[in-house]
Structure 1
């Protein structure tokens, strides 16, 4: 996902509201979870969100979300948020976080999700993707 930061998205310092960034992260994570689960999901938890550098008015925000862990009915999604200078395309990691989603059946009850297909360690440094 790519979003632009407008004044309405910021505080009086001219930096992005944390809640606005969390909302974008939750949206990006939900897309990854729905795609993996092939159906309805709900956010169960936000974990370990770290704000590294401020995001300012005029920056673009690029979000990268990927499934890093799968349980029986739940998925952990890592979301990395990059502050991007629009003209140059230069990016800097601004925020990271983990979101847990639960897959739901038609009655709104938890349902099983597919296993995570392992990827090369080089693709996800420091993340164990084995089931």
Structure 2
């Protein structure tokens, strides 16, 4: 058996394949919200609830009505202090494309949201590859 097929800790090649497909599907439905300031509470659960409420309010305002579990909304670990990006996993690629398209037009019309942007989420390895190859990030 090749090393590739036994690369998963469980030794099950099908499980490794299914997990990679699931990760790709999740990535294909994810967006990144940039420019939303953090709530600033010392209670981490309260910060997460506030992020969830803020993001879902914006998503609903833009006319996408997916049911989004709170576990599908999270802050990135790195980024600008007090404005780390928020990653949201939507239910479909169609919802993602609609949200990005509407966000480009409608976010600039609301003063409070003028500096918020919504972009496609990319994996860390894809981001590194773009930097190495000099490929600009999509806007």
- TM-score tier, shorter chain, comes to 0.3 to 0.5
Point out the structure with the larger helix share: 2
So what's the TM-score if we normalise by structure 2? 0.34
| Larger radius of gyration between Structure 1 and Structure 2 | 2
Point out the structure with the larger strand share: 1
So what's the TM-score if we normalise by structure 1? 0.35
